[in-house]
Amino acid sequence: MKKLVFVTILSLCSLYLFSQNYEADQSIKSYRQAIIAYDSMDYGSALKYSEDAILYRKQYIESQIAALRSTTEQLENQVAYIKKQNRDKFARKMDRR
């Protein structure tokens, strides 16, 4: 019984951790509303919802690009620091000779 409870709790925790929560959900909801409005021949609302979906998706993509840029900048700074340290070590070794 204890093993079953443990396995159940572990599986629920793993599902919670690995579930994906996108900011893009709003764009998907808006797109679905656009489809429903289009099917009901409410073309004005369909256009509004589809434009909203495009805007939400653009914002999501821009936030992802910004996150990637900041990550790559941090990595570039780390690489530059390591290269500088290696140059300094090499220069010290050459001075000792």
Domains of the chain, residue spans: 24-96
Residue 53: the pLDDT is 94
* DSSP secondary structure of 61-72: HHHHHHHHHHHH
Q: Among all chains, which residue has been given the structure tokens 């793993």?
A: 14
Answer for the pair 51, 30: CB distance below 8 angstroms, yes or no: no
pTM > 0.85: no
Q: Is the pLDDT of residue 46 over 90?
A: yes
Q: Is the pLDDT of residue 6 over 90?
A: no
